[in-house]
A and B are shown apart, each in its own frame.
Chain A
Amino acid sequence: MSIVPEARGTAVSRASREVVVSAPARDATVGAARVRSEPHPAANLPGLGLADRPLPASEELAPADEPAAAEELAAAQERSASQGLLAPVPPRIPAAAGFGAAFGAVYRGQLARSKVGRIPLLFVASFQSIGILVLLRGILDVGNTTAAGQVVAGSTVLVVAFVALNLLAQRFGALRAAGALDYYLTLPVPPAAVVLGTAASYATFAAPGTLVTAVFGSLLYGLSLSGLWLLAPVVLLAGVCLSGIGAAVGLLAPRPELATIAGQLGMSIVLFLGVIPADRLPEVGRLARDVLPSTYAVDALAAAFQRNVDWATVLADLAVCAAVGAGALAAAVLALRRVGTS
């Protein structure tokens, strides 16, 4: 029975490897100025793509702004030079991703994940709105195109609200709770690209549902389909507006359950104040309706079903959606940054 101590790595073998680490640099006598102008050998590696992307001088790493670090670096280089070793040079800072590329990457990633599990939700969103249309068909007077237009427009915007408010708030709430936002926050991308890219992927699934709902509603209530092109800007702006709010709610809620509840509550409010015609609401309801940004989208779309369209009002309604959307997105971006450095 032999008793031999386990063989383990030694300091000697590791020290000898550090010579190899330093080897790729080119000039043993590099001074500070020289270091600054030499690209890191990593920049020439295939697949990195940094060699052909020169950065402005301000983006390059000065070897040391801090006296202690500068001394350390100079001393290290002197030591290396005296030993005939080559000192590594500081790397160039890779460029950050542009907004377009980052938006595209987030969108594509979220769309890929939507393919897996989100399609059933799309049906739920449309069925819910179609159900409301059928239900209200029995109550409304036939021939009242103002009320009918509003019901159809309200149901259509509800599809957007379901996806943007409810699902997006849930998603961001869950990501935040799991600490999974670190993934985005540690990539060199603008936070707005993360919020908008995610929202846009959800919107892609909401868009067909809004078309189905609007067409079905128009046929059911005998409304004209000629102004239906207005659906495109309405859905886009309502989507930006409500998804900005949804994302902000999800990112700011202290717990994911609260984000879910807030999203569902928001959707219920959009449902009641959007679908019920304005003239049938009590005074307080009408006031609430004026405050709720989604109702401006409802009004703009409802106008599309009427014979005489007041374009100034439609444009004003859409402008409100756009303004609230910009504000909500800014809030969501701030919330995302705040999560990042809590």
Chain B
Amino acid sequence: MGGVLSYAIRGLTRRHGVGEHSVLANDRIDLDVRQGEVFGVLGPNGAGKTTLVRLLMGLLRPDAGTIMMFGRDVRAAPDLPARLTGYLGQADLALAELPVATAVGTTARMRGLSRGEARAARDAVLDELGLTGVAHRPLARLSGGQRRLACVATALVGDRPVLILDEPTTGLDPVARRAVWGALERRRDTAGTTVVLITHNVLEAESVLDRVAVLEAGRVIACDTPGQLKASVSGDVRLDLAWRHDPPAADPTVAMLAGLATVSGRRWTVRLAPAAARDALGRLTTGAALAALDDFSLATPSLEDVYLTLGGASRDLERT
């Protein structure tokens, strides 16, 4: 597990606004991000993820705490983040009317690449992300997914040692999403690139992250590999049930599950020990409740379960 720390973050705190209406967006955050890992920050909307990356990029000043980048304090070297990091923010108005190739090529030039290098890097990254066909169209005239993908290309071009990507795959179709994940893993494996990836998508977190910090209301509530996090919460499994119409309340299994379930419309989610879940499902699918049952699934814990078990209150994490 050896390696250089790309980031050593200690006691990072930032409050937005003043007085009664102020919000503690980041609250005493401690994190270590190793060189050459894909590090994720997972959390619902409003958890403070974007504040964290804007602090890392020097776009916000912390109220307290330190950020060390490769052992150097960024307060003493404020130009360090811009020089070391390829950043993808959420706003893309600066690039909206530029043709894709121009957006990527001029970004490479602004990262200090020579004309020839910038051209080569641009063509390579457009090819890698499958954007060559739309290279001459302005971003604003692309579909939402392609537009986001073009912005990802501007972050990747110039091969910085660190990439900070704020929800890079929002709005992407599954093929484009896998292209982005592949591009990130390639850079980590061949160049030792450190990737900090902000996401509120559980599938993304479980598919690509080496380690993940779970953020809730400005605090890190857990930080480990996705597998360790899932193993740590419990041995429970998740039983999801979807009802066609109201299930027979008199059925003892239904009554038992109703007492445990998190209900969302006609969908129930129950967390149970594996044997109990299998048993309950067996009785449901052979008993009177089957007529009311539309669909069901049984799954091992996901990072969403980790988040909920650790006290996360929000329900807006994405699963697909």
Chain A interface (Cβ < 8 Å from any Cβ of B) = 1, 3, 5-6, 8-15, 17-18, 20-22, 24-25, 40-42, 45-49, 61-66, 68-70, 72-73, 76-77, 79-80, 83, 85, 87-91, 93-98, 101-102, 104-106, 108-109, 112-113, 116-117, 174-175, 178-189, 340-342
Q: Which residues of A contact B124 (CB under 8 A)?
A: 47
On whether A187 and B111 interact (CB within 8 A), knowing A61-B70, A112-B99, the answer reads: yes
Q: Are the C-beta atoms of A105 and B35 separated by less than 8 Å?
A: no
Does B4 reach chain A (CB closer than 8 Å)?
yes
Chain B binding surface, main DSSP class: mixed
Q: Are B159 and A45 in contact (CB under 8 A)?
A: yes
B188 touches A21 (CB 8 A): yes
Chain A residues with CB under 8 Å of B54's CB are 182
Interchain CB contact under 8 A, A21 and B192? yes
Is the CB–CB distance between A90 and B35 below 8 Å? yes
Residues B154-183 near A (CB distance < 8 A):
158-161
Q: Total A-B pairs in contact (CB under 8 Å)?
A: 242
Query: What residues of A have a CB within 8 angstroms of the CB of B300 in the complex?
Result: 5-6, 8
Q: Are B81 and A47 in contact (CB under 8 A)?
A: no
User: Which residues of chain A come closer than 8 Å to B107, judged between CB atoms?
Assistant: 105, 187
Cross-chain contact of A90 among B37, B71, B207 (Cβ < 8 A):
B71
Which A residues are in CB contact (< 8 Å) with B117? 47-49
11 A-B residue contacts at CB 8 Å? A6-B300, A21-B36, A21-B188, A25-B192, A42-B193, A73-B4, A94-B83, A186-B81, A188-B112, A341-B58, A341-B61
Say whether B230 contacts A8, CB under 8 Å.
Answer: yes
Stretch from B221-229, B252-260, B261-269 forming part of the interface with A? B221-229
B contact set with A: CB distance below 8 Å: 1-5, 8, 32, 35-37, 54, 57-61, 68, 70-73, 79-85, 87, 89-99, 102-103, 106-107, 109-114, 117, 120-121, 124, 138, 158-161, 188-193, 206-207, 210, 225-228, 230-231, 237, 274, 278, 281, 285, 298-300, 302
Q: What's the minimum C-beta distance from B300 to chain A, rounded to whole angstroms? A: 5
Cα distance, A101 to B106, chains bound together (Å): 9
| Cβ-neighbour of B91 out of A48, A93, A182 (below 8 A) | A182
By the criterion CB–CB under 8 Å, are B192 and A109 in contact?
no
B299 touches A5 (CB 8 A): yes
Distance (whole angstroms) from the CB of B147 to the closest CB of chain A: 13
Identify which of B71, B112, B281 contacts A101 (C-beta below 8 A).
B112
Complex interface: chain B residues within 8 A of A24 (CB): 190-192
Inter-subunit contact A63/B4 (CB<8 Å): yes
Other-chain contact of B71, A8, A18, A66, A341 (Cβ < 8 Å): A66
Please name all residues of chain B whose beta carbon is closer than 8 Å to the beta carbon of A11 when the two chains form the complex.
225-228, 231
B113's nearest neighbour on chain A, judged by CB, is: A49
Residues on the B chain within 8 Å of A42, using CB: 159, 161, 191-193
Contact of B1 among A25, A79, A93, A101 (CB under 8 A): A79
Pick from B37, B68, B99: contact of A18, CB under 8 Å: B37
Q: Is the CB of B210 within 8 A of A180?
A: no
Which of A3, A13, A98, A185 has the most chain B CB within a 10 Å cutoff? A3
Question: Which of B59, B107, B138 is most buried by chain A, counting CB atoms within 10 A of its CB?
Answer: B59
Partner of A45, one of B81, B191, B231, B237: B191
> A106 and B110: CB pair below 8 A?
yes
- Please give, as numbers and ranges, the residues of chain B lying within 8 Å of A180 by CB-CB distance: 91-94
CA distance A41 to B95 in the complex (A): 31
| Pair A9/B210 contact, Cβ less than 8 Å | no
Q: How far is the CA of A185 from the CA of B124 in the complex (A)?
A: 25
CB neighbours (8 Å) of A88 from chain B are 3-4, 35-36, 192
- Within the complex, the shortest CB–CB distance from B306 to chain A, in Å, comes to 12
> Which residues from B are CB-within-8-Å of A184?
94
- Given known A-B contacts A5-B300, A11-B228, A93 and B82 have beta carbons under 8 A apart: no
A47→B84 CA distance, assembly (Å): 16
Asked if B8 contacts A93 (CB within 8 A), the reply is no
- Which of chain A's residues have a CB closer than 8 A to the CB of B94? 175, 180-181, 183-184
Partner of A47 from B72, B121, B188, B210 at Cβ < 8 Å: B121
Nearest neighbor of A97 in chain B, beta-carbon distance:
B112
* Other A-B pairs beyond A21-B189, A69-B68, A73-B5, 7, CB < 8 Å: A9-B207, A21-B188, A48-B158, A66-B68, A80-B2, A182-B87, A342-B60
